[in-house]
Structure 1
């Protein structure tokens, strides 16, 4: 039986983190007053609704989620830095491990406090959003732009726009990565919502933490394995993808 390659393990780890984002967003939206902690597009829209007076939109929660995500991304970017070879640098690994521990610390605090008041909800929302922002920065060096782990709108657009029906050309790997990313986000959200139907918020967040920890574990295993040389068909796939990107850039410049 052939061992999984580092590239395959990195892909699996990113997909698990995407599923974890969907699960955490389900918990934050359904149990923390209608706020997303990973998908910031929804929070931007909710914040705009609240600013023009739409009732029952949690203005502070959405604002703190946006600020928390941005701060987490800034801190993560500073810690991980740039210029790494493709893969998971040591700083990213430590940041992801710390993030995993933080999720379970939050589970313990939430379970100990019980029903959260408004301040507790806002605090938990901001910390979870910061974790999601830092996670994005941590996995950036892996270099798989088809799996962003926190948003699938652009992923869905790419997989359809660059399909044969859309008149584009994408490799089999690109199609799989993009499609599975969308499915992983939905599956994670379903898991988070399903657990909330039968248990309370801390238990649901703990389930999210298990998925997150699984993704981090797979990434750490991938980091410990040397990359094999690319096969000719993989090189050809990259050339096709590169040619498609160049043609798109030329078309944009001409327009």
Structure 2
């Protein structure tokens, strides 16, 4: 009996670790998508960000002294982000959950679908014009705001999927160079991967936007969003299976 129990615990640990790895993978895919979106927004939507609200707020500050290109666009992006974040805050449960909520998956699926529709409309429209630029900026910001809060119940604060300012700060703060005690777990791998994912997404988005088309860059973002949501769906199924197995064992 004892040997059997030990064997079971050894089997459970790798399963838990593989599930955690899938969670990280899903979040990193979404982070990479955010980098793509912000790159195409900056280059093709008049220096605006859909996910990086710090940048938009700075541009609004520059506008106070007449040093901004299109503060209206930046302001609309901030409002769109707040709308998306608020909507996701209403739909997705607060606090950490042991199982990825269905509302998280539906919110991510909705954002992905919305981005795909925008991509198609952009291809058909070609030149957006001033009104189209403002509309796409606002709508993509809604998607990014909803994504940010959709993943909150997953509980990995090291990968927010949208920005990495806090991630970099925490990475430095919990390092030995900063005097953190040896027993402090810095989660440096997750944090470092989040930074790399955002940078790679930005690079890919800029390359596609400049060398192919903004719609092509948005298409890549849609694929990454879809892949991230799909991975988290697999995570949810694994978590539910593990929960049922634990209840049966109890």
* TM-score normalised by the chain length of structure 2: 0.86
Deviation, 1:83, is: 5.0
Aligned to 1:209: 222
Q: Deviations over 1:198-251 (max 9, x none)?
A: 21111111011111111111111111102769xxxxxxxxxxxxxxxxxxxxxx
**Structure 1 residue runs without a partner (length 5+):** 230-255
Do the aligned residues in 2 keep the contact of 1:93 with 1:220 (CA within 8 Å)?
Answer: yes
Aligned to 2:247: none
Deviation, 1:168, is: 1.2
State the distance in 1 between where 2:88 and 2:174 align.
31
Counterparts of 1:21-32 in structure 2 under 5 Å? 21-32=34-45
Aligned to 2:137: 125
Do the aligned residues in 2 keep the contact of 1:6 with 1:223 (CA within 8 Å)?
Answer: no
Report the structure number with the largest CA radius of gyration: 2
The one of 132, 151, 166 equivalent to 1:139 is 151
Do the aligned residues in 1 keep the contact of 2:96 with 2:152 (CA within 8 Å)?
Answer: no
Q: Deviations over 1:119-165 (max 9, x none)?
A: 10000000000111111111000000111111101111111121111
With 15-24 and 79-88 compared, the bigger mean Cα shift is at 79-88
Do the aligned residues in 1 keep the contact of 2:28 with 2:197 (CA within 8 Å)?
Answer: yes
Deviation, 1:5, is: 2.1
Deviation, 1:181, is: 0.6
State the distance in 1 between where 2:190 and 2:63 align.
36
CA RMSD of aligned residues (A): 1.7
Aligned to 1:6: 19
State the distance in 2 between where 1:198 and 1:53 align.
32
Do the aligned residues in 1 keep the contact of 2:116 with 2:222 (CA within 8 Å)?
Answer: yes
Pair 1:83–1:41, CA change in 2 (3 A): closer
State the distance in 1 between where 2:162 and 2:98 align.
20
Deviation, 1:81, is: 2.9
**Structure 2 residue runs without a partner (length 5+):** 1-13, 244-250
State the distance in 2 between where 1:198 and 1:80 align.
38
Do the aligned residues in 1 keep the contact of 2:96 with 2:155 (CA within 8 Å)?
Answer: no
The one of 56, 61, 69 equivalent to 1:57 is 69
State the distance in 1 between where 2:209 and 2:104 align.
31
